Structure 1
């Protein structure tokens, strides 16, 4: 099983620094996106259009970080031609990089829905579903980044399993919002915007789960995508 120290055994100190640099840059980017997510949900609930605009305008910073990390990974692949665990780290970094950037995109979408909801100036649901699922996926994101930082496969598996819970919560929230819509058609505009915000939150949960799946691949070399029982699959593979 892969451990953190396995990336510090190279003869070339520069290679060690390059690998650590990629990992640190990913975690920095993840921290920025996590902050954007929490702030986007808070801005939506508070109808704070100024904060929402700020979040939207900062999305380009995440895009720039994504491109920088992609360039770093491409440089290592070209110059170092890494093998075995080092290659897994670079491949994982490329995939995690994409998922983090997409979470940033979804946070910006939530902020945009927040601006639209502020214009509606009504929420029959009082944003209960958005508050709840927003907190849940934010926790998933934090856990997935921690799992990546510590190469903690058990924590990664925990995140993967939580995605099913988020999907169920999302389905329940959508049914609840449809009920509000049917009760008073004047709420349709506001409810539709809430639904789009919830869709972004559900997608963030998917991306957090993806990051966790990448951690399992990094640590064990196992592709656990599309598995009905993650723990059973890992056990069969020789856990």
Structure 2
């Protein structure tokens, strides 16, 4: 396991500031992870109460992003971090942006759940939403753990898992389009499921982004827009 070991500083407060950034990012990540779980549950069970809760919590996620951005700016201005310390601050800044966008996607799913609340039983797509939801929730869990532990191998596993989410999305899309062609009356409800699956696919993309940020943090490598093979090749050089 590759890990980053942040150096201790003469100023104890500097260490506290960096640890606080990391802790707040993980706290925000945990909140976003629960949003995914709740949003998918609202879709699966047609639970409008859970959907409303997801929508309300989204405001808290937005406030956390702003607060973390401000905290990162203060550390940059007051501490002028370098090397791994600077990478940590930059990673938190980028990571919180992806977390906020994941919160936005969970918010969209919750809205779809409300729209589907009165839908007829038996509509196809719910099982696919549940399965994709489980996949992206596991990605979120793993990528937050990778960040907490500065674990490059686990981050790479998350990037690989995004490919599976993409495959599931394409397969579900084909099935739903076929269903709509066979029963035009289902188009409106099916479109809500399609948008739900699209949001889940986007959550997978953002989880991969965070995994790439972790690799940058630990290794100093910018692996954005790289294939999995290219990532592995670059990491094997280090």
The alignment's TM-score, normalised by the length of structure 2, stands at 0.96
Moved more, 139-148 or 220-229: 220-229
**In the TM superposition, what whole-angstrom CA distance separates every residue of 1:178-208 from its partner, at most 9, and x where no partner exists?**
1111110111011000000000000000000
- The match for 1:181 is 180
Contact 2:159–2:212 (CA under 8 A) maintained in structure 1: yes
**Is the Cα–Cα contact under 8 Å of residues 21 and 72 in structure 2 kept in the other structure?**
yes
Aligned residue in 2 for 1:58: 57
Contact map agreement 1:227 1:233 (CA 8 A) in 2: no
- Residue correspondences, number: 236
1:132 matched residue in structure 2: 131
Secondary structure, in 3 states, of the residue corresponding to 1:82?
A: coil
What residue is the counterpart of 1:6 in the other structure? 6
Counterparts of 1:116 and 1:123, CA distance in 2: 16
1:20 CA drift (Å): 0.2
Partner of 1:32: 31
1:233 aligns with 2:204: no
How high is the TM-score relative to the length of structure 1? 0.95
For structure 2, the residue ranges without an aligned partner over 5 or more in a row are none
Q: For 1:19, what is the secondary structure of its paired residue?
A: helix
Deviates more, 1:49-58 or 1:191-200: 49-58
Q: What are the within-5 Å matches in structure 2 for residues 1-239 of structure 1?
A: 3-7=3-7, 9-125=8-124, 127-228=126-227, 229=229, 230-235=231-236, 238-239=237-238
Which consecutive segments of 4 or more residues in structure 1 shift more than 6 A? Answer: none
Is the 8 Å Cα contact of residues 123 and 191 (structure 1) preserved in structure 2? no
Q: Offset at 1:162?
A: 1.1
How much is the aligned-residue C-alpha RMSD, in angstroms? 1.4
Cα distance in 2 between the residues matched to 1:37 and 1:127:
15
Q: How far did residue 123 of structure 1 move? A: 4.4
Instruction: Give 1:54 shift.
Output: 1.5
Matches of 1:17 and 1:28, distance apart in 2: 16
Q: Determine helix, strand or coil for the equivalent of 2:162.
A: helix
Q: Tell me if structure 2 keeps the 8 A contact 1:123–1:190.
A: no
Say whether the 8 Å CA contact 1:29–1:62 is kept in structure 2: yes
Gaps of at least 5 residues in structure 1 are none
Tell me if the contact between 1:120 and 1:189 (Cα under 8 Å) persists in the aligned partners. Answer: no
Alpha-carbon distance between aligned partners in 2 of 1:5 and 1:160, rounded to the nearest angstrom: 23
